Structure 1
């Protein structure tokens, strides 16, 4: 029996009609590389063949009676690829603007929890260069966060991708194992035992957590702690969100980022966060909304290599960092971020890799879900200090070109969830020498995401010139 970990299940409990907990991706394909000419039917059949033995694509959730424990995964015995792979066309004239509006609409639709928690929308007729450009096929994918995190989601793409147009999809490392469908009595018995042992587990978690708090206070006094939550300035995207979404995409050169990293002794992540800070500063300044103090981001961190837990799709933690939006000079901002990120990483490394997962085990299904809905209905995100302004994720991607069902992946833009109180998410992914930036937001908070992402190439050029002139 495959029980969801507390962290995986938390993404189910966090979901409301406005706060959707799936992760998305926009994949732009060049179908001219396909061994045979493109057809939707052949593409769907190929996808079906590639994923029918992959549990993450064919399992669904089954709730525990009375909500006594986290749900379990069971195989969908009625799995039907036609319920998951759909076909659409970009409205005329099929340009970037029409594609973004369509993707934003799809991102705002919840996944059906009675089926495996993923969908793909194959979108035809996209002309990235306008009416005269060559057409591209776009795949808009959605997977629930209970099923994947950034790294595992990236790995799942390998089931549908290859290194050559006519090669077989990349092989899966571990053995395939489909979840067993338990009897109702077994579910209840395990839930009762799990509930009875929670006090013992709580005692084991409290000790290390209390020690961590003490050490964090010491770090704060020494000025070596990560940024503290609830200390971010309020912006237009820090309130209660709606179900409407806006999406915007941008591309920057990975070699330029690496050159800056090498010249300054920083990291790729430092440079990316510096660009995010500069883009946000320019965006808010244009709107007359730039706060005097720095914006703060929550940055997810994979703990897959250091986690002692074998189960669970999500192996993540996070740290908080200030983005230097109060600093105009891009090089000064990078130097500040590099230093603060070193402190934040040291602080984060002192925390158990499984701390977040350990505490998530105590999320009660009914209570947690009710609390989230009450929080949204009372608009509490607008009444307490801002926890953090946004989420920024940096997901490593393939260094070489990949082929999706024979079509070369020209671009792969990741899109994470947005939350009440933090209605903007920026996720970047490297892909064959480029860095693809995906920004998704509550539409009422950020109606024009392009006004934000257009600053990424500009900020990269500003930073590059500052490094050269140093």
Structure 2
């Protein structure tokens, strides 16, 4: 799976993910942070992340998967850059700068990550003067959403004055293997691959049986709602990007579940995105009659794989309810559809789904990816989903980098491919929730409008939830008032009539 992101890399589709992190230096010593302080801080903690000093080495002709090698020429100052926004330095300029940085491919002859420190955020609303940002880029071959959180933990502390790790750094560079050595390894792996394919096929059989059993017992169903319509987002993309997003109060986000208490926060996020797409495409007179769908990644990373590099994810298809205007009805629809998709994914086995990717030869993956891009097949073929919605939980407490407090994880950046011109990330941090998106600039030239659609969709759901919460006491009171007055109660039984009292005394005698 990691190799598939290497195979899909192209000038129009760089396969890295990232985020925009905003820091307040007021908590740092002296109330400010210098660029050299950031370099020193990151350098002192690199032993906590396996990702940071390893580079990819590709096998000639892609006859085998690439290898990770400890880079003998590692240079921290190459990976950590420094820029400033032009004045006035507002939110829109920050988004434009982040999109430009994100659109540039990484150098895969070096460890595949870059951090850009961005100063000059003085006019970004909601943040005090002097704040700075990190725009991060890490190749998707190195991390998924959950291992990205581990990287965040390596580069942050729980207190502003925490010192460097107590253990000495035992890292050692490695020699870059030559073509002959790599071809020798690929030959051995090619001999073993048929055996691996047979093992994967055997492991897949219980999942297929589980799906058949689930369909027969109607634990889930194959619905036409899982078939995506053709949209403007599902065509060949350009190399240009736009990024935007919205910040919400996490408590308010969770309160929307009053519309449907059994719904999860992820269902609420999908319903918000479905409503935003309904509004955006309605304004363009381009709304499909059937629901759009999203690919929702599912982490299958076990507890003992927490610090491992690479990707441990499966996926499910989540209908977005874009064809439903009413927010409460849309949430109910999303909840029922995600439950159906989860049941199907569980029957198949999310972990088994990832095993299949381990035996796909890289040569064919790379050839297929290049053919798909060069022939513009995205214009001709139907895509299996319209967009991506990935949910990445953030830290529930404030964290610090170089002594500066992380104020916001407001934007997450995600890779796009031909046929996938819009992708979303849902994230949380302390008491805030974020929905951000990355899009091809040619496909979505007005990201501010779509961002407003996200806000409007959220407010509609919140208003509907507040109406339900406000009406609950009134319904309870009216139900109590409407109960029959003649129904006897225990207190009334004490005030018996004389005849009843006489009968009771006789029974006692």
Residue in 2 aligned with 1:251? 247
Query: Using the alignment, how far apart are the partners of 2:455 and 2:213 within structure 1?
Result: 39
CA contact (8 A) 2:118 2:135 kept: yes
Residue in 2 aligned with 1:112? 107
1:252-401 equivalent positions in 2, closer than 5 A? 252-261=248-257, 264-305=261-302, 313-401=310-398
CA contact (8 A) 1:96 1:127 kept: no
CA contact (8 A) 1:146 1:313 kept: yes
Deviates more, 1:121-130 or 1:293-302: 121-130
Deviations 1:302-332 (A, max 9, x none): 0012899996521100000111011111111
Equivalent of residue 16 in structure 2, options 5, 22, 37 = 22
Structure 2 vs 1, CA of residues 140 and 183 (structure 1 numbering), >3 Å: closer, same or farther?
A: closer
Q: What stretches of structure 2 of length at least 5 have no aligned partner?
A: 469-509
Are 2:39 and 1:44 equivalent residues in the alignment?
yes
Structure 1 residue 136, shift from structure 2 partner = 2.0
Structure 2 vs 1, CA of residues 119 and 438 (structure 1 numbering), >3 Å: closer, same or farther?
A: same
Structure 2 vs 1, CA of residues 183 and 461 (structure 1 numbering), >3 Å: closer, same or farther?
A: closer
Normalising by the residue count of structure 2, what TM-score does the alignment of the two structures yield?
A: 0.84
Equivalent of residue 162 in structure 2, options 158, 162, 167 = 167
CA contact (8 A) 1:19 1:420 kept: yes
SS at match of 1:368: helix
What RMSD, in angstroms, separates the aligned Cα atoms of the two structures?
Answer: 2.8
Residue in 1 aligned with 2:119? 124
Deviations 1:112-141 (A, max 9, x none): 011100000001101344699624201100
Query: Using the alignment, how far apart are the partners of 1:94 and 1:255 within structure 2?
Result: 30
Structure 1 residue 53, shift from structure 2 partner = 5.9
Query: Using the alignment, how far apart are the partners of 1:190 and 1:157 within structure 2?
Result: 34
1:196-215 equivalent positions in 2, closer than 5 A? 196-209=191-204, 212-213=207-208, 215=210
Deviations 1:357-387 (A, max 9, x none): 3222233333322221211121111112232
Deviates more, 1:440-449 or 1:29-38: 29-38
Normalising by the residue count of structure 1, what TM-score does the alignment of the two structures yield?
A: 0.91
SS at match of 1:251: strand
Structure 1 residue 144, shift from structure 2 partner = 0.2
CA contact (8 A) 2:226 2:293 kept: no
Deviations 1:165-206 (A, max 9, x none): 11247999xx98768557556544432221112112212222
Query: Using the alignment, how far apart are the partners of 1:341 and 1:132 within structure 2?
Result: 37
Query: Using the alignment, how far apart are the partners of 1:210 and 1:230 within structure 2?
Result: 23
Query: Using the alignment, how far apart are the partners of 1:409 and 1:65 within structure 2?
Result: 43
Q: What stretches of structure 1 of length at least 5 have no aligned partner?
A: 1-6
CA contact (8 A) 1:229 1:320 kept: no
Deviations 1:405-429 (A, max 9, x none): 2111111122211121111110011
Are 2:423 and 1:429 equivalent residues in the alignment?
no
Structure 1 residue 346, shift from structure 2 partner = 1.6
CA contact (8 A) 1:101 1:246 kept: yes
SS at match of 1:28: strand
Query: Using the alignment, how far apart are the partners of 2:166 and 2:141 within structure 1?
Result: 23
Residue in 2 aligned with 1:72? 67
Of the two, which has the highest radius of gyration?
2
